[in-house]
Amino acid sequence: MIEVKNLHKSFGPNHVLRGVDLSVSKGESVTVIGGSGSGKSVLIKHIIGILRPDEGDVFIDGTNIARLGEKELYSVRRKFGMLFQAAALFDSLSVWENVGFALLRARTYSEPEVREIASEKLNLVGLVGIEDLMPSELSGGMKKRVGLARAIAHSPEILLYDEPTTGLDPIMADAINDLIVRMREKLNVTSVTITHDMQSAYKISDRIAMLYEGKIIETGTPDEIKRTEHPIVRQFITGSAVGPIKIKGLSE
Amino acid sequence: MFSGLVESIGKTLIDFTAETGKVFRLLYDALRLALHPPIDLRNTFKQMLEVGVLSVPVVVITAIFTGMVLALQTYTGFKRFGAESLVGSVVALSMTREMGPVLTGLIVAGRAGAAMAAELGTMRVTEQIDALETLATNPVKYLVVPRFIAGLIMLPALTVMADIIGIIGGYLITVGHFGASSAEYWRRTWDFLENDDIYNGLIKAGFFGGAIALVCCYKGFYTKGGAEGVGKGTTGAVVISFMTILIADYFLSAWLFE
């Protein structure tokens, strides 16, 4: 379903992705782990075509989106829903207008119908009666839920999660993890998550891939990753400051 | 030392060229998408309200005082050689050709232009612009086109208002304060004022409106680096808009009025 091949991307002198290969099959949940600044967000933005690769290809259902024109790209994007790190809700629109945004734009439904669908999707993520609130009136956890409701509103086949648990308390984080698992069961979607929260990664993934220095250095099921012998992956998943991974800007 | 200087001049030139290229690229996209229906009418009207209607109070106050001070200065100045009867013409020509479009442009740049840059900049750093893309919505069409159209339409509209109010301001001082003849003021106003004075002034206003929207949207759209970036982008947007208005004003005037 998703096939990333030899992906390279630089920003100025900073060579962020240095040949990433990753494939995700239909219905699978893959989590990409890696440190801050390792290029996880850059990778996910290539999968949905917000960024264009310097080199390499991204296939979605066999279509190479790295080479698509603008119009075709927007039509491929309808297969996607994405939850952003800080939810990225439109702060000039109410909750239901946020959730129904794509549907309102497509003009296939009338406004009352979109509102109904929005309420339904909000119910699905555990929110009731907040349709008319503005995003500024919501807590962090609620924003993420609304962001998720917006991502699933147009019934996408692929869901992308950008650090879904970052910035939430442990209980709220776990509730979001449960939601992600439930989305996959209920909606039968393919999902790609990027995170550095290992608990979350173990809970929601079929497969975990580690991104380090611009490449995927190891892939495996959560159990395989837990038992890995790879020193860099080992250090990352145990969360140790001592090991082969150097922290940028810190002296030994 | 010398090579360092050359290097920094070269870098500035390259950056400037690259940036100008990106502005024209945005202009091209905005024009292309504006001609490609459907136009988002709701957003366009919202922006016309922001850019136009909500700027009315400031434009009214600015225009009336500009007309008043023009009359005050010309009357006292022209009196020295007995030409004070020409005040009406001076006010009318100055307002329609110069003061109306330029002052309205500066006001809109400071008010609505700054708001555009800040709003789009915030949307960029909080990933709302990326979110638009993921919802299969072209952010240029959704955000830039309505602002561009609003600038293009509302600036000439505000200018018409500023022209009229400025001329009334001049009347208040000439007739009300200096006690000149009312009929004389109006006669002098119409005597030398030609349709082209008004139209060319409005062409300038339309150009300023488009340029302000373009520059401010560009600065907002390509904001980097959090809250500080939004601040810098907004300042830059207003400064560049002001410069663009004043520099373009000279060249447009030379082209339109000569």
pLDDT, tens digit (0-9, with 9 covering 90-100), for B47-89: 999 999 999 999 999 999 999 999 999 998 888 888 888 888 8
| Residue A16 pLDDT exceeds 60 | yes
d(CA B224, CA A102): 26
d(CA B197, CA B205): 12
CB contact under 8 Å between A105 and B135, yes or no, is: yes
Give the pTM. 0.87
Give residue A230's pLDDT. Answer: 86
CB contact under 8 Å between A84 and B135, yes or no, is: no
Over residues A56-63, mean pLDDT: 88
d(CA A156, CA A153): 8
Give residue A90's pLDDT. Answer: 93
Please check whether residue B15 touches A, CB under 8 A.
no
Give residue B162's pLDDT. Answer: 95
Partners of A143 on chain B (C-beta within 8 Å) are none
Q: What is the pLDDT of residues A87-129, one digit of tens each?
A: 899 998 999 999 999 888 888 888 899 999 999 889 888 888 8
CB contact under 8 Å between B134 and A82, yes or no, is: yes
d(CA A118, CA A100): 6
Which residue pairs from A60-65 have beta carbons closer than 8 angstroms and sit at least 24 positions apart in sequence? A60/A1, A60/A2, A60/A3, A60/A158, A61/A1
User: Three-state SS for A93?
Assistant: coil
Of B134, B35, B195, B107, whose CA–CA distance to A192 is shortest? B134
How far does the CA of residue A118 sit from the closest CA of chain B (Å)? 15
How far does the CA of residue A196 sit from the closest CA of chain B (Å)? 20
How far does the CA of residue A211 sit from the closest CA of chain B (Å)? 22
Question: Are B176 and B69 contacting, i.e. CB atoms less than 8 angstroms apart?
Answer: no
| Residues 79-138 (B) with a CB less than 8 A from some CB of A | 123, 126-128, 130-131, 133-138
Give residue A249's pLDDT. Answer: 61
Got the DSSP string for B187-239?
HHHHHH--HHHHHHHHHHHHHHHHHHHHHHHHHHHT--SHHHHHHHHHHHHHH
CB contact under 8 Å between A86 and B127, yes or no, is: yes
Domains of chain A: 27-49+78-238 (3.40.50.300)
Q: What is the pLDDT of residues B139-164, one digit of tens each?
A: 999 999 999 999 999 999 999 999 99
**In sequence order, which residues have a C-beta less than 8 Å from that of residue A103 and are 6 or more positions away?**
A109, A114, A117, A153, A154
d(CA A142, CA B241): 39
Residues of chain B with pLDDT under 70: none
d(CA A199, CA A165): 10
User: Three-state SS for A11?
Assistant: strand
In angstroms and rounded to an integer, the radius of gyration of the C-alpha atoms of chain B is 21
CB contact under 8 Å between A88 and B135, yes or no, is: no
> pLDDT category, A3, cuts 50, 70, 90?
confident
Q: What is the pLDDT of residues A131-183, one digit of tens each?
A: 889 999 988 888 988 998 999 888 888 999 998 888 888 888 888 888 888 88
Give residue B125's pLDDT. Answer: 93
The number of C-alpha atoms within 13 Å of A34 and in the hemisphere containing its C-beta is 26
CB contact under 8 Å between B136 and A82, yes or no, is: no
How many beta-carbon contacts under 8 Å exist across A and B? 50
Give residue A252's pLDDT. Answer: 47
Q: Return the axis-axis angle of helices B145-171 and B195-221, rounded to nearest 10°.
A: 140
Of B143, B150, B152, B149, whose CA–CA distance to B209 is shortest? B152
CB contact under 8 Å between A105 and B131, yes or no, is: no
Question: Are B31 and B96 contacting, i.e. CB atoms less than 8 angstroms apart?
Answer: no
Question: Are B40 and B145 contacting, i.e. CB atoms less than 8 angstroms apart?
Answer: yes
Identify which of A48, A89, A106 has the shortest CB distance to residue B134: A48
Give residue A239's pLDDT. Answer: 81
Residue in A with minimal Cα distance to B125: A88
CB contact under 8 Å between A78 and B137, yes or no, is: no
> pLDDT category, A250, cuts 50, 70, 90?
low
**In sequence order, which residues have a C-beta less than 8 Å from that of residue A9 and are 6 or more positions away?**
A16, A17, A39, A42, A46, A51, A53, A54
Residue A138 DSSP code: S
Q: What is the pLDDT of residues A188-206, one digit of tens each?
A: 889 999 998 888 899 899 9
**In sequence order, which residues have a C-beta less than 8 Å from that of residue A69 and are 6 or more positions away?**
none
